[in-house]
Structure 1
């Protein structure tokens, strides 16, 4: 059974306003902080990392560990069944892994686009020079970057931003240098920087989705005051 075309799903991407509600936790927040699940034509539940897939979708704001628990205990199946009002669905056992891969791809694709536009810098010397001149809007380091190299660039950034003594530092990415190098088609990518604040804002959405899913970001939103939503169709 498929959902009638004119039947709206309250947690769907097409809902009114920017706020969404997690079908598992009942937490409400910005759609930029949530992960959208979409349904393929044959009823398979799949990640929609960019939240652009056609059709109706459901939103989650839990970590991978929490999702794996919900999947094992059948809570995800129940939440999706309520959200889609009993439509026939198939939940792949490796859905958490697929979500992580999709979120990672969304982030690295955005990095690639910013590199093609000339707004992404790689290489310690180049980044350090721009940072000291106050021309870095965002700074990041590979997961396996050395503390000395990262610390020097963080310090250069603080100098350029007139933020010495604040502890301001680049973000440590959940990707090592090998993954970043493969994604960007460059050798030994350890440090990255963006020179444009708008580019940094564009990158923030996929990065924060990924970090939160991996349990490395801030918790999303706040509960609506009614405890965990028992109806997956809670307004979003």
Structure 2
């Protein structure tokens, strides 16, 4: 603690992307490690043992690192690069977001379904709106109009959101303010580098290349 009893803010760790050279907070990037078998492994949770290799959480940055052999250079050895590495990263990031939603549900900090989500939006309890990318555009827009002031996540499909709530499909969900809502927004931002949001009626299917001038976690 600093003088006066105030807790001193810890500086957030930053890492440099091997593909772009940009330096960003580690939580916004992707960590990779080399397995004992010599294969490159995505470590989206940042907990695997070994020396970390960092890449910006964008598909094009990962593809650049692969095309230019930058992982071999960073690892100082030849490493096995899975042909479906980008797809593995996307799947792992989607799983992280789903797990975060599930934790929020178990903590009583999330609701699912049109009526409950609408109720949270009207009462001001909703801090994040989550909507399925494959839901009806008209129905999504009706609720989105009530959530202009909060982040909106439109990256997961109905079956994926359903996994978080123990249902077959979920189109609409809301998160209450708190650490899990903040984590969901952060995880969605990373997933947004690999999967296109349908939140604003974009024509691109989920997972297609995206225009980096757009954002998949909106806050207006």
Q: Which residue of 2 aligns with 1:56?
A: 51
Unaligned runs of 5+ in 2: 1-10, 196-209, 216-220
For CA contacts below 8 A with separation 6 or more, give which structure has more relative contact order: 1
- After TM superposition, the score normalised by the length of structure 2 is 0.77
Check whether the contact 2:19–2:61 (CA below 8 A) recurs between aligned residues: no
Check whether the contact 2:109–2:176 (CA below 8 A) recurs between aligned residues: yes
Give CA-to-partner distance per residue, 1:104-142, whole Å, 9 cap, x none: 111111111111111111011111112111111111211
SS in 2 for 1:53: coil
State the alpha-carbon separation in 2 of the partners of residues 57 and 19 from structure 1.
12
How far off its partner does 1:70 sit? 4.4
Check whether the contact 1:137–1:200 (CA below 8 A) recurs between aligned residues: yes
How far off its partner does 1:208 sit? 0.9
Unaligned runs of 5+ in 1: 1-15, 158-166, 221-236
Q: Superposition RMSD on alpha carbons, in Å?
A: 2.4
Q: Which residue of 2 aligns with 1:152?
A: 142
Q: Which residue of 1 aligns with 2:191?
A: 210
**Aligned pairs (5 A) from 1:73-112:** 73=67, 75=68, 77=69, 79-85=70-76, 87-112=77-102
- After TM superposition, the score normalised by the length of structure 1 is 0.72
> Structure 2 vs 1, CA of residues 195 and 124 (structure 1 numbering), >3 Å: closer, same or farther?
same
**Aligned pairs (5 A) from 1:73-222:** 73=67, 75=68, 77=69, 79-85=70-76, 87-157=77-147, 167-168=148-149, 171-214=152-195, 215=210
SS in 1 for 2:98: helix
Check whether the contact 2:153–2:188 (CA below 8 A) recurs between aligned residues: no
Larger Rg: 1
State the alpha-carbon separation in 2 of the partners of residues 123 and 199 from structure 1.
19
